């Protein structure tokens, strides 16, 4: 199995190109199921989760040409509507095919994803929304069997909790439904906005894009013709490299970003003492003289993203004073705490709140990645730890960070991927 070996303490500087957003690309790929022909996608990140989603579509019968950042997907050849356990169990986002498959074919089976390292992560809100639109849904043999013999009908969906994937599945289902669907308390993440804009670019009328109330006029089953869609920059990858600048006290310029998506992240790093120069698609971070402690509560967009909680915890571990980090979205998203403590951090957990006490230095050790963002927090810590840090189970990182070692090597890090014999 691959692992990463990092020699900490190297000064970093230079430019980091930011890739397309994994979490925007996944629903965009699922949305090609709604299409009546070829769809071209550009700026895809070259990561395992994207390849998994493309494999899922190809198993359903789609024709796919994929070269690193571009793909052409033709879903007119789909001949199966069953998303198998072997794929869904690898990647929960596979659940995003539920809405579009049901809307287009009137029936489908999707394996239940089960829990994962960051929490229970139920899909009840996706199911309730589709039921409200007329779907009949049963849970049999580990699969969700969904059918809508007369097609889906527009409905008023009120989410009692904001859900990114639930909003995306409902938007895709509503696009082909009969009549108008209103989603109240919709997610407003930039990734949801990209999906809505893609569907609107195919002629579907959507009101309220980027707000918490969406109104979608369905096409009554008419399939969509999408123009080429360019995936938006990955705000979480960008945030991770900003944290790398902060923790290593380096000046770094990120290129190909959308700074307007980085508000909460930049705001917290400013509170910690970093400063920024922001241009149209570049952002430069200048290090803090002394990193200050912070108070973070994870929230839905535009609040502070849960996907940046672990990386900020690594930065906070060497700030001068005690930081408090409260995780509100996922009940178990603190697996990185004990691994950061193995590197010398002083973090105490009570329920969903972590108290991060200040330490002077971190020290290299052998640690284990537990999920995607937890793994990146360990890379951050390894970059400043004295001595050698070995990070195992890095298949988590490969799911969502495009060319991580290449990008870090280019700015001066001492990082190498090795294989166990
Ligand atoms: C998306 O997951 C992202 N994944 C996650 O990124 C991200 O952490 C999360 O949104 C929150 O921002 C993708 O976009 C592929 P939710 P999603 O539905 O859609 C509860 C990463 O590291 N909930 O918004 O699964 C749920 O348990 C990943 O890139 C229900 O209770 O998240 C959670 O507490 C990890 N019932 C909260 O809502 C439901 O039916 C928000 O989850 C659905 C969700």
**The pLDDT of residue 115:** 63
Query: By alpha-carbon position, which residue is closest to atom 4 of ligand 1?
Result: 23
- For 347-389, the pLDDT digits (tens) are 999 999 999 999 999 999 999 999 999 999 999 999 999 999 9
The pTM assigned to this predicted structure is 0.98
Residue 114's pLDDT band, with cuts at 50, 70 and 90, is low
Sheet containing 82-83: order of strands: 82-83, 107-111, 143-147, 136-140
Cα–Cα distance for residue pair 41/53, rounded to 1 Å: 13
Select which of 108, 116, 196, 274 is catalytic: 116
Cα–Cα distance for residue pair 15/255, rounded to 1 Å: 7
In contact, 22 and 49? CB cutoff 8 Å: yes
Alpha helix positions (H), 209-284? 235-248, 263-271
Whole-number percent of the chain with pLDDT over 90: 95
- Tell which residue, 11, 2, 7, has the closest CA to residue 411: 11
Pairing of strands 414-419, 366-368: unpaired
- For 402-419, the pLDDT digits (tens) are 999 999 999 999 999 999
**The pLDDT of residue 214:** 98
Residue 120's pLDDT band, with cuts at 50, 70 and 90, is confident
In contact, 244 and 287? CB cutoff 8 Å: no
Mean pLDDT to the nearest integer, 188-206: 98
Q: Please check the confidence at residue 157 and state whether its pLDDT lies above 70.
A: yes
**The pLDDT of residue 263:** 97
DSSP secondary structure letter of residue 19: -
At residue 256's C-alpha, the angle toward residues 252 and 257, to 5°, is 80
Ligand 1 pocket residues where CB is under 6 Å: 23, 26, 93, 119, 121-126, 161, 163-166, 191, 306-307, 329-330, 372-373, 400
Interval between CA 38 and ligand 1 midpoint (Å): 29
Tell which atom from ligand 1 comes closest to the C-alpha of 164: 24
Mean pLDDT to the nearest integer, 242-267: 98
Q: Is 108 an annotated catalytic residue?
A: no
Paired strand residues for 57: none
Interval between CA 94 and ligand 1 midpoint (Å): 13
In contact, 219 and 231? CB cutoff 8 Å: no
Q: Give the lowest-confidence range in 108-117, 122-131, 347-356, 398-407.
A: 108-117
- For 89-102, the pLDDT digits (tens) are 999 999 999 999 99
23, 117, 130, 264, best to mutate for ligand 1 pocket (most atoms within 8 Å of CB): 23
Tell which atom from ligand 1 comes closest to the C-alpha of 300: 12
């Amino acid at each position: 199995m691959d692992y990463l070996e990092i020699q900490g303490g190297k000064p970093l500087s230079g430019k980091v190109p930011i890739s397309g957003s994994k979490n925007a690309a996944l629903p965009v790929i699922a949305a090609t199921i709604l299409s009546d022909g070829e769809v071209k996608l550009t700026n895809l990140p070259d990561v395992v989760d994207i390849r998994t989603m493309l494999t899922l579509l190809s198993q359903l019968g789609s024709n796919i040409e994929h070269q690193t950042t571009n793909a052409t997907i033709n879903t007119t050849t789909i001949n199966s509507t069953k998303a198998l356990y072997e794929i869904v169990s690898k990647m929960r986002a596979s659940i995003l095919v539920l809405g579009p498959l049901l809307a287009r074919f009137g029936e489908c089976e999707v394996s239940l994803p089960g829990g994962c390292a960051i929490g229970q992560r139920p899909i009840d809100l996706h199911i309730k929304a589709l039921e409200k639109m007329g779907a009949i849904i049963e849970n049999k043999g580990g699969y969700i069997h969904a059918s809508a013999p007369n097609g889906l009908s527009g409905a008023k969906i009120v989410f009692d909790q904001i859900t990114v994937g639930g909003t995306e599945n409902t938007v895709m289902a509503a696009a082909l439904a009969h009549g108008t669907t209103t989603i109240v308390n919709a997610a407003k993440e930039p990734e949801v906005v990209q999906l809505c804009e893609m569907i609107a670019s195919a002629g579907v009328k959507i009101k309220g894009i980027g707000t918490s109330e969406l109104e979608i006029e369905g096409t009554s089953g008419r399939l969509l013709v999408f123009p080429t869609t360019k995936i938006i920059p990955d705000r979480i990858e960008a945030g991770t490299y900003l944290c790398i600048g902060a923790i290593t006290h380096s000046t770094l310029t990120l290129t190909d970003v959308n700074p307007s998506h980085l508000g909460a992240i930049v705001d917290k790093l400013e509170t910690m003492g970093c400063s920024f120069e922001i241009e149209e698609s570049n952002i430069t971070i200048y290090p803090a003289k002394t990193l200050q402690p912070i108070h973070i509560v994870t929230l839905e967009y535009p609040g502070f993203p849960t996907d940046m909680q672990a990386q900020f915890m690594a930065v906070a571990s060497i700030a001068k004073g005690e930081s408090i980090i409260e995780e509100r979205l996922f009940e178990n998203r603190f697996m990185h705490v004990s691994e950061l403590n193995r590197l010398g951090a002083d973090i105490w957990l009570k329920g969903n709140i972590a108290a991060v006490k200040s330490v002077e230095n971190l020290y290299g050790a052998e640690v284990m990645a537990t999920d995607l963002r937890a793994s990146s927090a360990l890379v951050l810590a390894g970059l400043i730890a004295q001595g050698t840090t070995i990070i195992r189970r890095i298949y988590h990182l490969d799911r969502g960070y495009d060319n991580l070692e290449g990008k870090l090597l280019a700015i001066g890090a001492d990082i190498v991927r090795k294989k166990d014999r």
